[in-house]
Amino acid sequence: MREIMGHTAGRVYLAVLLLSIVAMIAFIVTGGLETPAGEEPFLLFGWMTMSLVAGAIFVIVWLIAYLIYFFRFWPYR
Amino acid sequence: MGFEIISLTAFGLVIIGLAAYGYKISAKTAEDYMLAGRTIGVVVMFFFVLFAISSSWTFYGFPGMLYLHGPGYVFFIWGSVAGFAALYMFLGPRLWALAKINRFLSPVEALAERYESKGLRMVLALSILAFIVPYVGIQPLGVGAGFQALTGLPTIWGATYTVILLVVLVLLGGMRIVAWVNIFLGAVYVTALLGSLIWIVQAAVPGGLPGAAERLMEIDPQLLTTPGPFGEFSPVLVAGTFVVGLLAFSWPHVVIGAMTARDKHLFKWFPLLVFVFGGLFFYIIPFIWGSLAAPSIIPPAELAERAAAAGSTLEIEADRVVQTIITWRLPGWFGVFVLMGVVAAAVSTAAVQLMTSSIIVARDVVQGIFKPDASDKQITTWARWSVIVIVVLSLTVSIIDTGLMALYLTDVSIPGFAQWAPALVGGLLWKRGTREGAIAGTAVGVIYLALGLLITPGGSRVLLLDLHPIVPTLLVNLIVYVVVSLLTPEPSEEIHTQFFDEVDEFLRSES
């Protein structure tokens, strides 16, 4: 991690990951997963619940950031 | 009954045969027994680690929790995926290089040398053992529950069967064979988990997964959202569960895996498998099982009635609802195959935990503290025989404490594992971290956690402020580590050179 902190691309990478964690926590704490009273639960494609969709998006963000950084910028690649 | 016994015996003999073969080809050195000679490549490493962390909990505790409380608990998985990837992206390369250059055999040994402290070695070793040992015992008991659901035999039969496999595998095989056997066990495990889901959805869920969701809308729409039917998973608890998952980078039996790597390129490729195969495929299977398929086939209210009639509780029955449905709705022979998958899951995890525990006992406690001049052969012998002591101890603790499987993992073991995280991360990445800071932070965190879990007047964890155990304890641990480190003398220049400059140089030059 010291090598990642040592250059701009690495710092941007860490910032993206940190932001994704903060965004996820903010989304959860502000009630983004909950169903408003009187409404039906969110279901994508008829079965994917909000907890599944939100988590999958989170993993995909990490995957894309990792692919770009580790295969183009990581000093020890 | 005869078919089940013959099948499970044959399965057990395959595992024992692999362990015996591993013993025959092993180099009989401590490095070979404990770290597979540092020769594990990326594919073996991935399945080794994936199935080391995917225990019978993935079959029972995880879907059981989703079944009872809706999908909120899955945030533990999202956090864990990021946590495991972070271990291999951020800490793994340095720990691996450090251990390879200095021939360290355990992460505790590496930290003890980094902080120049035998006292810290003892504190870390004992605290890790205290939290990993009970978790080892949960695995055989998890299999025992599956045995009972399938065959009606008492739990102890399945638990004994699993313990025999575990002891033989770890005693004979060592880390290399545990890693290789994990691939075989993982193949059985994935086939059973995915196969059972596809089959049960076709056989018992009209309309497929959208049909299951429609059925849950009729039964109780809260099963499809947070906070769930009992209002358990509030936003704060879901966020806490997510953070607990993120701390997966500190699980000792996963951290030690990084030390078995063949070269640094493993750390470049490993996260790809974690994200794609682990996060977007493997863990979705038990999620669908627990949150959609199972409650649409047996609604929780119906399971509660069955539990009451059988003199059991809804929580216990929820833990084994997957096995119950398979036994009830699919052919008997497939139920046996699924139980093999559960055995595979339990053995693959407990074997790595046992290996890790035995390494810490032999290398860090016995050699590190009491007998520094021990030979290679003596260390390996102690590691092997400590396996039996650890198994007996872990089973005893697990039988005494019959808490729910999912809650034991997230409420006790993981907060316990996390207590060495500040010392670990600081030791590898922060030059200013000191011996005094590491000892004080770890000791305060462990003591606070133990008291917080034990002192519960009226069922309330007052010392933990009724928060998730990991939150206040880790925060206090971290603050103590940083403050005490800054107030005590900086580590010597030799430590900076050995643990930072040489590691950087090695990682830059190694190809």
pTM strictly above 0.90: no
Q: Spell out which residues of chain B touch residue A45, defining contact as CB-CB under 8 Å.
A: 210
Q: Enter the DSSP assignment of A41.
A: P
Q: Spell out which residues of chain B touch residue A70, defining contact as CB-CB under 8 Å.
A: 89, 268, 271
Between CA B202 and CA B208, with CA B206 as vertex, the angle to 5 degrees is 60
Whole-number CA gyration radius for chain A:
17
Q: Say if the Cβ atoms of B280 and A56 lie within 8 Å.
A: yes
B287/B292 Cα distance (integer angstroms)? 8
Q: Spell out which residues of chain A touch residue B504, defining contact as CB-CB under 8 Å.
A: 2-3
- Chain B, nearest residue to A6 by Cα: B504
Q: What is the DSSP string of B336-391?
A: HHHHHHHHHHHHHHHHHHHHHHHHIIIIIIIIIII-TT--HHHHHHHHHHHHHHHH
Give the largest CA-CA distance in chain A.
Answer: 54
- Helix, strand, or coil here: B262? coil
Hunting for tokens 């462990």 — which residue is that? B446
- Distances from the Cα of B470 to the Cαs of B131, B206, B293, B467, in angstroms? 13, 42, 32, 8
For residue B7, the number of C-alpha atoms closer than 13 Å in the C-beta half-sphere is: 17
Q: Say if the Cβ atoms of B280 and A70 lie within 8 Å.
A: no
ipTM of the complex: 0.96
Q: What is the pLDDT along chain B (511 residues), one digit of tens a residue?
A: 677 788 888 888 988 888 888 778 776 788 888 888 888 888 888 888 888 777 777 888 899 999 999 999 999 999 999 999 999 999 999 999 999 999 999 999 999 999 999 899 999 998 888 888 877 877 787 777 777 766 777 878 888 888 888 888 888 878 888 888 888 888 888 888 899 999 999 988 999 999 999 999 999 999 999 899 998 899 988 998 899 899 989 888 889 989 999 888 889 999 999 999 888 998 999 999 999 999 999 999 999 998 899 888 888 889 889 888 988 888 888 888 888 888 887 888 888 888 888 889 888 888 888 888 888 888 888 888 888 888 888 777 666 655 555 566 667 888 898 999 999 999 999 999 999 999 999 999 999 998 998 888 887 888 888 888 888 999 999 999 999 999 999 999 999 999 999 999 999 886 5
